[in-house]
């Protein structure tokens, strides 16, 4: 299992989203509060964000196979990285899966950033030369990119039907939209005066955090948040 967080709104630093909160991804890498599977997330981390200085609008990424708490270089640079759209993740590798930078979320197709918090049988996913790693999350990301993120809810429901034991919490962003699913694990939303946070678990004790029900699809443009039940679950 893993933990992830996404931001869409006014520009803020990567550190303010991942490292500085009292229970941000840094703390969740060694002491998550709501994680249902696994005790730590020490098998890698990653962050992706969008910058107006990058031509074509492609996202920037920084990924590692080391624990987030041990990366002094990232800690020193993260306060200087600012974006209006950020996706960060810490990883707990499933048994038998490789631990390598390319196995850490977020994955990308050059437009979208995508993180998978969960587990899925690779046998139900098509092989793809576009997958960044052989891990289940990378194969799932390639499958979702191939079918289109606009069909995320439908595709997740289909994958969940093919693998009833799958856990399929997805968080994706393209610079102007956040979209997520809950399927087997937790997700919370925080609406602020200047944007929206989606996170596997709240990164502080602000009472404004709201938990998203299981097997739902979430969409946000950084202001409004729309939550709908996934196909076949109502």
If one counts every other C-beta atom within 10 angstroms of the C-beta of residue 130, the result is 13
Task: Please say if the pLDDT value at position 36 is more than 90.
Answer: no
Mean pLDDT of 69-73: 95
Catalytic one among 1, 2, 26, 87? 2
The residue written with tokens 């990301």 in the block is 141
Q: Under DSSP, is residue 6 helix (H, G, I), strand (E, B) or coil?
A: strand
Task: Please say if the pLDDT value at position 138 is more than 90.
Answer: yes
Reported as a single tens digit per residue, the pLDDT across 83-99 is 999 999 999 998 888 89
Task: Please say if the pLDDT value at position 234 is more than 60.
Answer: no
The span from the CA of 144 to the CA of 209, in Å, is 28
Reported as a single tens digit per residue, the pLDDT across 160-183 is 999 999 999 999 999 999 999 999
Reported as a single tens digit per residue, the pLDDT across 183-225 is 999 999 999 999 999 999 999 999 999 999 999 999 999 999 9
The residue written with tokens 């994706």 in the block is 172
Mean pLDDT of 63-68: 97
**Known catalytic residue at 2:** yes
Does CATH number 3.40.640.10 belong to domain 3-229? no
All structural domains of the chain with their residue ranges: 3-229
């Amino acid at each position: 299992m893993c933990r992830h967080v996404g931001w869409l709104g006014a520009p803020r630093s990567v550190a303010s989203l991942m490292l500085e909160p009292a229970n941000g991804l840094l703390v969740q890498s060694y002491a998550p509060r709501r994680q249902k599977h696994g005790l730590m997330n020490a098998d890698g981390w990653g962050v992706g964000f969008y910058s107006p200085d990058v031509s074509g609008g492609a996202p920037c990424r920084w990924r590692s196979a080391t624990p987030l708490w041990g990366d002094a270089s990232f800690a020193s640079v993260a306060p200087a990285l600012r974006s209006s759209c950020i996706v960060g993740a810490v990883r707990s590798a499933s048994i038998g899966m490789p631990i390598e930078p390319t196995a850490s979320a977020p994955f990308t197709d050059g437009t979208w950033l995508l993180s998978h918090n969960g587990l899925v049988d690779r046998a139900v996913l098509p092989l793809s030369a576009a997958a960044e790693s052989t891990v289940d999350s990378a194969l799932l990301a390639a499958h979702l990119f191939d079918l289109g993120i606009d069909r995320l809810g439908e595709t997740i429901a289909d994958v969940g039907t093919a693998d009833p034991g799958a856990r399929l919490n997805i968080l994706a962003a393209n610079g102007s939209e956040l979209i997520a699913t809950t399927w087997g694990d937790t997700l919370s939303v925080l609406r602020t005066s200047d944007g929206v946070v989606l996170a596997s678990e709240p990164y502080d004790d602000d009472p404004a955090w709201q938990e998203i029900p299981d097997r739902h699809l979430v969409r946000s443009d950084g202001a409004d948040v729309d939550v709908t039940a996934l196909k076949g679950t109502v």
